[in-house]
Structure 1
Amino acid sequence: MSATFEDLQILRSAEEIAVAIWQHVAAWKTLPRDVVGVQLARAADSIGANIAKSFGRFHYGKKLQFLYYARGSLFETKYWLNRTQKRQLMPEEQVKNYSDQLTVLARQLNAFAGGLKAYRRTSATKNSSIRESSIEYIVGEVAEPPLPLFTEDDLNWLHSLA
């Protein structure tokens, strides 16, 4: 794994896409920017943010969870790109270019998650746990209780309630 999360190629790719989308959206008029642009920019930013969150987790399950969140944000970004095309806010070829970049990023995310799962499986098969050797417990004979739990009067009283 990389020394820092900034070294992750997948994170750099996500950041490049987010910056390009931001620059595009920032030039829009107020209504389209507020209705579609904000959602598009947030979704694009969320891809990289979730990759970074994944890197910061210690537990494999949490790492994978945030990679899956990043993948969800990626598809949300594609959704908003489709909205921009339908509303003619962005040229079709630009939407296709971003969509193609996101498809490549989705494959990278899948490969990254798959690599993480494989690493977990191989590290789990190594003898990496610390266990105490089992010991035999010797227990002496258990003495009978000196007094009965219930007296004869107690039992008669309980039977009278039934």
Structure 2
Amino acid sequence: MGFKFEKLKVWRTALELAFEVSNVIQEFPSHEKFVLGTQMQKAADSVVLNIAEGSTGQSSAEFKRFLNYSIRSALEVVTCLYLGEMRKIIKKEDFTNLYNKYNDLIKSIQALRNSLT
């Protein structure tokens, strides 16, 4: 592992969650894969991408800014979960599982952000 972000637990967790989101989206009806599914996947991918991009910045302030973007994207995923559940295209167990994991991830990203000086 040669990049700084690869050592970060939040990055590894976000990467795993982006994969889990893609598995849930595969079960969407075709019309929702290209509407809600695309938006949800982009948001899930954005979480992990912003952690990686921010970790290579020149300052803690820059990294904090990208961690804030990651949190916002994670909240977007959570909102997509609600929309999917309301539209009856996300199973209750998938909703609960991903909701809880994103809740924990957001807390971890916030803790990392708050630890930076």
TM-score normalised according to structure 2 size: 0.93
Q: How does 1:5-84 map to 2 (within 5 A)?
A: 5-84=5-84
| Distance across 2 between alignment mates of 1:3 and 1:78 | 28
- Alignment length (residue pairs): 116
Q: Is the 8 A contact 2:29 2:89 kept in 1?
A: no
| Distance across 2 between alignment mates of 1:68 and 1:12 | 17
| Distance across 2 between alignment mates of 1:79 and 1:104 | 15
Pair 1:97-2:102 in alignment: no
| Distance across 2 between alignment mates of 1:27 and 1:94 | 11
Segments ≥4 residues shifted beyond 6 Å: none
Structure 2 gaps, min length 5: none
Moved more, 96-105 or 2-11: 2-11
| Distance across 2 between alignment mates of 1:76 and 1:44 | 8
Query: Root-mean-square deviation (CA), in Å?
Result: 1.4
Partner-residue secondary structure (3-state), 2:66:
helix
> 1:37 deviation in Å?
0.4
| Distance across 1 between alignment mates of 2:3 and 2:85 | 39
Q: Is the 8 A contact 2:24 2:94 kept in 1?
A: no
Letter in 2 for 1:79: T
| Distance across 2 between alignment mates of 1:73 and 1:101 | 14
Letter in 1 for 2:98: Y
Letter in 2 for 1:90: I
Letter in 2 for 1:26: Q
Q: How does 1:106-117 map to 2 (within 5 A)?
A: 106-116=106-116
Structure 1 gaps, min length 5: 121-162
> 1:26 deviation in Å?
2.5
Greater relative CO (CA pairs within 8 A, separation 6+): 2
Which has a greater percent of helix? 2
Partner-residue secondary structure (3-state), 1:109:
helix
